[in-house]
């Protein structure tokens, strides 16, 4: 299908790029991306992907907008407080670009629903804030052979990696087991600079666009780390996929999803 | 002895073991950090027995949560 005059104008800065062109823009319009977590990472990612004309964007989050979210979750605004995050996110995305389809999943992903939810999407963004969800998303995407972007942020630091299951190392290749609750500080406990979600969430959107358009080198086989205080971006090379990994090795130990619980820990911050 | 830690050149005592380097670097939550030396992950059980060599390249990879409060347990 040819692009309309309005589309030619809306996406003109994409189309003029030799790496994207009308062909790449059509790929974006036909693509389906799922964003899990409409928070600090998911907010900017969702806005850029909506603006880019990604034709179908799924957004999964069970939470409602809270005043303390607004310092960084820029897809939500003050009048949205109390609203379901997926609804607030959808309104902003459609205000940016009414021609896309936004599918809302107002639920927490778990071992029972995640494979059904991710199935129809081309690419998944992990914008969650907790380790049970991060391990679940990793394991489900590896099992379903679904390309995804992992990211994490805390304080003035962020990290990012893209996983092509079966080809590049996964999250569990680096982090074998979930840390006990309380030993790794959360953003709620330790804080996070608002713009960190903007930097790292935008990089997740960038990886999704590159994947869809088939341009450039994806951030596979590396963990990108960003230290804002030192203004230092580093790509840390990872060993090859699967060696000793419980989920992405050729003969994996983990063959079924489970709802991961973070082991309890006797030590907690502030106690 | 010269090694590279997280991309930064360092001078460390010859024969320094990995746990001592972790302590010297002030690594947060050392029980949960992932370490790679020259591009290979070090099994946690081997930390104590791992002695660094001249020109080793050491990386520390940390657990990092994320999007914050978007998806709380």
Mean pLDDT value across residues A229-252:
93
Cα A88 to Cα A61, A198, A236, B8: the distances in Å are 11, 18, 36, 44
Residue in chain A lying closest to B32 (CA): A179
pLDDT band at residue A87 under the 50/70/90 scheme? very high
Q: Is the pLDDT of residue A10 over 70?
A: yes
Task: Kindly provide the ipTM of the predicted complex, given to two decimals.
Answer: 0.87
Residue A115, token pair as written in the block:
């494979």
> Looking at per-residue confidence, does A123 or A264 come out higher?
A123
Q: CB-based contact (8 Å) between A40 and chain B?
A: yes
- Contacts of A17-26 with C-beta under 8 Å, sequence gap 24+, read A19/A213, A19/A215, A19/A216, A20/A213, A20/A215, A24/A212, A24/A213, A24/A215, A25/A53, A26/A1
Q: What is the pLDDT of residue B72?
A: 39
Q: Looking at the partner chain, which of B6, B29, B67 has a beta carbon nearest the beta carbon of A127? A: B67
Q: What is the pLDDT of residues B3-17, one digit of tens each?
A: 999 999 999 999 999
Q: CB-based contact (8 Å) between A192 and chain B?
A: yes
In whole angstroms, give the CA distance from residue A212 to residue A228.
29
pLDDT band at residue A268 under the 50/70/90 scheme? very low
Q: What is the pLDDT of residues A134-156, one digit of tens each?
A: 999 999 999 999 999 999 999 99
- The string of DSSP codes covering A27-96 is HHHH-EEEEE--STTHHHHHHHHHHTT-SEEEEE---B--GGGTTT-TTS-GGGTTSBHHHHHHHHHHHH
Q: What is the pLDDT of residue B66?
A: 64
Chain A residues closer than 8 Å to B4 by CB: none
Chain A residues closer than 8 Å to B73 by CB: 130, 132, 262
Q: What is the pLDDT of residue A270?
A: 40
Mean pLDDT value across residues B11-39:
94
Q: CB-based contact (8 Å) between A159 and chain B?
A: yes
Chain A: give the shortest CA distance to residue B30, in Å. 10
Cα torsion B52, B57, B63, B68: sign: positive
Q: What is the pLDDT of residue A264?
A: 66
Q: What is the pTM of this model?
A: 0.93
Q: What is the pLDDT of residue B1?
A: 95
- The string of DSSP codes covering A118-178 is HHT-SEEEE---SHHHHHHHHHHHHHTT--EEEEEEEBTEEEEEEE-TTTS--HHHH--SP
Chain B: give the shortest CA distance to residue A151, in Å. 7
Q: Is the pLDDT of residue A111 over 50?
A: yes
Chain A residues closer than 8 Å to B33 by CB: none
Q: What is the pLDDT of residue B68?
A: 43
In whole angstroms, give the CA distance from residue A123 to residue B3.
39
| Cβ-contact A201, A42 below 8 angstroms | yes
Show Cβ contacts of residue A221 under 8 Å, excluding neighbours closer than 6 positions. Answer: A168, A169, A237, A238, A240
In whole numbers, what is the pLDDT of chain A averaged over residues? 94
Q: Which single residue is written with the structure tokens 């809302």?
A: A104
Q: What is the pLDDT of residues A59-84, one digit of tens each?
A: 999 999 999 999 999 999 999 999 99
- Region of poorest pLDDT, from A85-89, B23-27, B28-32, B51-55: B28-32
Chain A: give the shortest CA distance to residue B5, in Å. 11
């Amino acid at each position: 299908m040819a692009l309309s005059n309005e589309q030619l104008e809306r996406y003109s800065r994409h189309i003029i790029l030799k790496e994207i062109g009308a062909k790449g823009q059509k790929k974006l319009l036909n693509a389906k991306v799922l964003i899990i977590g409409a928070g600090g990472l998911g907010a900017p990612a969702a806005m850029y992907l909506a603006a880019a004309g990604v034709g179908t964007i799924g957004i999964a989050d069970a939470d409602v907008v809270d005043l303390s979210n607004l310092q960084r979750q820029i897809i939500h605004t003050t009048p949205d407080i109390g609203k379901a995050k997926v609804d607030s996110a959808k309104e902003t995305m459609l205000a940016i670009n009414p021609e896309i389809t936004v599918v809302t999943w107002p639920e927490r992903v778990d071992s029972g629903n995640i494979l059904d939810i991710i199935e129809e999407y081309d690419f998944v963004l992990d914008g969650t804030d907790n380790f049970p969800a991060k391990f679940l998303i990793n394991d489900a995407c590896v099992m379903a052979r679904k390309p995804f972007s992992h990211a994490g942020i805390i304080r003035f630091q962020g990290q990012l990696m893209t996983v092509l299951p079966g080809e590049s190392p996964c999250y569990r290749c680096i982090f074998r087991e979930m840390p006990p609750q309380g030993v790794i500080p959360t953003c709620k406990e330790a804080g996070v600079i608002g713009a960190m979600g903007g930097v790292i969430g935008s990089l997740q959107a960038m990886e999704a666009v590159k994947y869809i358009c088939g341009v450039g080198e994806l951030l596979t086989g590396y963990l990108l780390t960003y230290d804002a205080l030192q203004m230092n971006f580093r790509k840390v090379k990872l060993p090859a996929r699967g060696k000793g990994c419980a989920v992405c090795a050729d003969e994996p130990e983990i063959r079924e999803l489970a709802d991961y619980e973070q082991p309890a820990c006797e030590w907690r911050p502030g106690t | 002895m010269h090694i590279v830690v997280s991309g930064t050149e360092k001078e460390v005592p010859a024969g320094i073991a990995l746990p001592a380097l972790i302590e010297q670097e002030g690594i947060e939550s050392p029980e949960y950090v992932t370490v790679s030396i020259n591009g290979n992950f070090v099994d946690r059980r081997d930390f104590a027995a791992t002695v660094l060599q001249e020109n080793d390249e050491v990386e520390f990879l940390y657990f990092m949560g994320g999007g914050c409060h978007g998806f709380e347990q």
